[in-house]
Structure 1
Amino acid sequence: MLDPEEIGHSANMRLLANVPLDAPFDVPEAWGTDLAFQGDYAFVGNYEGFAVHDIGDPAHPEVVTRVACPGVQNDISVSGDLLFLSIDEPRTDDTCAGGPTGPEDPSGWEGIRIFDISDKAHPRYVSAVRTECGSHTHTIVPGKDTGTVYLYVSSPGPVPGSESCPAPHENISIVEVPVANPRSARVVATPELFPEQRPEDESFAAGCHDITAYPEKGLAAGACFGDGVLMDISDPVAPRVLQIVSDRDNFSIWHSATFNNAGTKIVFSDESGGGLAPTCGASDDPTKGADAVYELTPDRRLVRHAYFKIPRVQDAKENCVAHNGSLIPVPGRDVMVQAWYMGGVSVWDFTDSDHPKEIAYFERGPLPRAFAGSWSAYYYNGHIYSSDITEGLDVLRLDDPLTDPAKAVRMTELNAQTQRSYG
């Protein structure tokens, strides 16, 4: 960990604490990934498994346990006593003991793993569900009653030569999880999102990268590699496409989406270069690897207004691109915090859809590895938590008159891709 005094940051944001990676996450590709929260706990995905942190005292977070369960990329979410992991690589079996196998292996497994976390110190593997083309990310969508949750599974594809991910791949998978009996979880639907299939020989990925649901509004927004998709999810097992938006001139890889609290705007991000490219240099295109602010009209049509990219120039060795973020619950304003890999963590205001602006930041600067920096940065109960790929869990304190009202908003659970109204 760098000396906090050597880390770049705005006057209104500072590093409060850091929990470095440690065994069993001390191997070269033990990369930190996504975050989820529940009560006084933060759950952090890692290519080698996941960790549970006690954040009851944000200035002194403590590791409760680290669970070794390898799999790319272990995208993580929690709901009640259940924890879900996305596995997007074929493996010899669905357990934590299995190893990687090739895409040409017809018996290779990839999909969703399920854990019981009723005992936070001793998570227990419960079951797994195979999904088409694996699971790169997933999104929790509550059922019509508390006894069922659904997972919208996003995955890239097709994979040449693969029996489990053949062309075409224009759909997502929906996994139904009976809360009282997660062992019986199963795929109940594979809705196709695109009315016209792309030619099978096209080289870019199909399917979706990420989906954000806003169940209270009956809406979801999918970042589906080459397009953004707006969906009606009033029936959670039968999502209905309302609109597909494209931006071939400015966006390369539609990565993720965030609604504002009112459900009248959506921020789509572009992961140009797949997270490995330095897109934040002085001569780089201001839209490549950036965010786009869309407004949602009363008849539920998306209209693009402006782009946002961090204003701090990064050097040619820093992978920098828009990545995972969440709203900061400031009543009456649209403010979010977002990870930018080596570009650090940015807080920006898009209340004025045509003139978004950064209001706070934190960044370590160039790191020794080519793939590094903040993977996910989310606001939870008064602090910002960042999962840094190589440096572990960061806790950031934000003190600003504009965002201070958010400190009064308390959450009991947060999965950033399942949005809930805060007032």
Structure 2
Amino acid sequence: MTQVSPKHPAQRISNAVQALQVAHELADAFRSGAARRDRTRELPHAELQRYFQSGLGAVTVPQEYGGIGLSCADLATIFVLLSAADGSIGQVPQNHFYALEVLRINGSEAQKKRLYAEVLAGIHLGNALAEFSSSAAHQRSTAITRQPEGLRLNGDKFYATGALFADRIPTLALADEGKEQLVFVPRYQDGVTVIDDWSGFGQRTTGSGSVQFREVEIAAEDVVPFQTAFEQPTTVGPFAQIMHAAVDQGIAREAFDDLLAFVRERARPWPDSGVAQASGDPLTLDRIGRLAARLSAGDALLTIAGDAVDAAQRDSSAENVALASVEVAKARAWTTDVSLEAGNLLFELGGSRSSLREHNLDRHWRNARTHTLHDPVRWKYPAIGNYLLNGVMPPRRGTI
């Protein structure tokens, strides 16, 4: 049995109010360096260490295991806050909480006690899920094999967001009878190589590089069933997606706030407004007002989706899980569009002035364009329509 300890112990968060307060404090701290980190691709090692030391990484641990079992709506709010401060930092913990949801649903009692205790102590879970070599996103070649000396893991992963910073790297791998398992691999196990080769033009500091596994010794106790989470109704899919929706909403929020500041500072006064030193012409005011309304709608959709996921976690009937997936798909599709709109409007109203680049405000559009391609919005609306019109439940997978 492998036991992983954090480099620095975490504080304990005792309730949702404290969790949101800590998130606000961290957002204020992370915002000041976000533009610089993106410009120079300075990886946020210290910031993420502070995140997990704060106790935020354990907020979804169920109460019976020592956590507070934070609601999905509140978790989404935390993702909005942190993603507004720094889109890359906001995205990194998504896979951490995703792995914890798989553990909650499919882990044994012994695995839950041990791994939840590690998370409460402050460890950070990364991910190694996606692969280049497969012909489809859901296919894997990374595998666990049984050898005389024990279990061994071999394979190659890419887009491993957070693996560079993590203490364990939950990894999808095929095992007996081709069943997918989630292996909670210790980051510094022999044979594990994490490569910093992420070169995206947005979300530049997520550490979304590659991971190689070469004859990595695996403890059976670190292997949690994965495939069965989609062979029955569970909240793994909508739970994963609501965090992505919140990342986009946070990026949109910060782009909008920077837009307001930019227009106030740079725009010429509109003399016929009746307001002294008013900023913006009628078209500018119209576009800003429309975007403000769409941002508020995004907040509301996230709350509705969070409540639906919470209900499905309490009672994972096929109907409840389908409704949760649909409500989350609405939020995800909406915040995808709004995040891109906010970044576009910042360019549209700011023009080609050098100050946009000077303050690295273009990062909001780059971050939104990159993150929204994680699972395209074109998958969402047809699933919503098919459910509402024909009563067809969405497919059970991590992308809806």
TM-score, normalised with respect to structure 2? 0.26
Rg larger in structure: 2
Q: Which gives a bigger RCO, structure 1 or 2 (Cα 8 Å, sep 6+)? A: 2
Quick check: which one's strand share is greater?
1
> TM (normalized to structure 1)?
0.25
